[in-house]
Amino acid sequence: RKQRPGVQLQKNTIEPDTMGTENEPSEQAGRGMVQRRDSQLKQVADSIHSLQRRISNIGADLTAEDINALLDPSSMVATTLADTQEREETTTLEQKTEIERRPMDARHVRRDEIAFFCGVLNVALTAFIIGRSPSTYYVYWTVKSVLLFTWRFITYRRKSLQWLMLELCYFGNFVGLIHVWFFPESMAQRRLTFAFASGPLMFSIAVMRNSLVFHDVDKSTTLMMHASPAMAAWTLRWYDDKLDGAMAPLDLPEALRDLVVIPVMYYVIWVLLYYLVVFRCFGERIRRKGGVTMFDLMVPKDRDVAKKKSPILGFITSFQPRWQPIVYLAFHGTAASLSFFPVVACWNSFAMHTTLLLGLLSLSVWNGGTFYFKVFAKKYYGGGTEAKAKAKSS
């Protein structure tokens, strides 16, 4: 084919420029090789200095073969690469740790700081009052009950959890407060209060895994609800001079009657009223308004989930839904009734009562320590995830 003149002219026009820039890539490649060579020499020099320091630290124990092995070029390059990789991994880990340790919302932290201060102060005041004037500890128990139960009702009502305050533990606190303020000289009321406080309430510390968590008001309230009546019963049993003559040890028949049978009768009255109010009279209203009861928290709706959690829960969910609350309360009543029997030994033995109370209080301290190390650290140094989620939802 014949080439068109225009094409030939264009080729001739371009060729001089191409020829003029033909040597530029080779010059750039040469400069790149020089830079790489300088970088390699710097790395080798750094490796030699590092090896010299290692040799000086090791001393005269090295042989000539060891020195040759250390000065091997492949070994020096490997050492340099290993050091570089280690520095990069350390930097990455430090950056990740810094991200994980971002503080939570300042207002949330300040609220927890105040709660922590009050929690520690509460422990100090409790120890001081019981040591200085044990027979008046019930006054401090009353103050804490009024403040914390009022706070709990306000916060629980916002979350539709106020129905939880009809549980047996609140009833036991109510029985004790009625006794110390309205019938302080009634021996029957004294023994009834002692039975509830040293029975179901005290053992709930272990069953419900109560924790001494200073900064958490809700957990502190739950622990107070079970531990304070138990400590008040201990002080009123062993350090009340007003009824000292009537606080003598009981023989077995009288102890079983006053500390087991009569308290169980009061429990039956409570459980019947509880069933009528929670499941019959207001059951539909509770469900319609999204309310939550202890039955809802304890018994899963899915039977497979319930069976995995506990054989008892699996047994309860095997019944029809309308019968499940009755079966649940039957197990609840059995456990509560059994918890009254150790009360007989606590009434008649200072050593037994003190050991059992201290053991359960120590368990709450242990549970609190477990909470701080397993939950608290994640909550505060997990990037504030929980606080961010709450702020987003609100």
Cα four-point dihedral sign 202, 208, 212, 213: negative
Instruction: Return the exposure string of 52-61: e unless at least 16 CB atoms fall within 10 Å of the residue's CB, then b.
Output: eeeeeeeeee
- Rounded to an integer, the average pLDDT of 61-67 is 55
Residue listed under structure tokens 């490796």? 47
- Model confidence at 110, pLDDT cuts 50, 70, 90, reads confident
Cα angle value 23/28/32 (rounded, 5°): 150
- Rounded to an integer, the average pLDDT of 332-342 is 97
Is this prediction's pTM over 0.75?
no
User: Phi and psi dihedrals of 235, rounded to 5?
Assistant: -70, -40
What are the Cα distances from residue 309, in Å, to 32, 93, 305, 315, 330?
A: 67, 38, 6, 11, 19
Torsion of CA 309, 313, 314, 320, to 10 degrees: -140
For residue 47, is pLDDT > 90? Answer: no
Bigger pLDDT: 244 vs 189: 189
Bigger pLDDT: 20 vs 209: 209
**By three-state DSSP, how is residue 90 classified?**
helix
Instruction: Return the exposure string of 94-130: e unless at least 16 CB atoms fall within 10 Å of the residue's CB, then b.
Output: eeeeeeeeeebeeebeeebeebbeebeebeeebeebb
- Rounded to an integer, the average pLDDT of 165-183 is 96
287 neighbors 163 (Cβ within 8 angstroms): no
Read off the DSSP letter of residue 144.
H
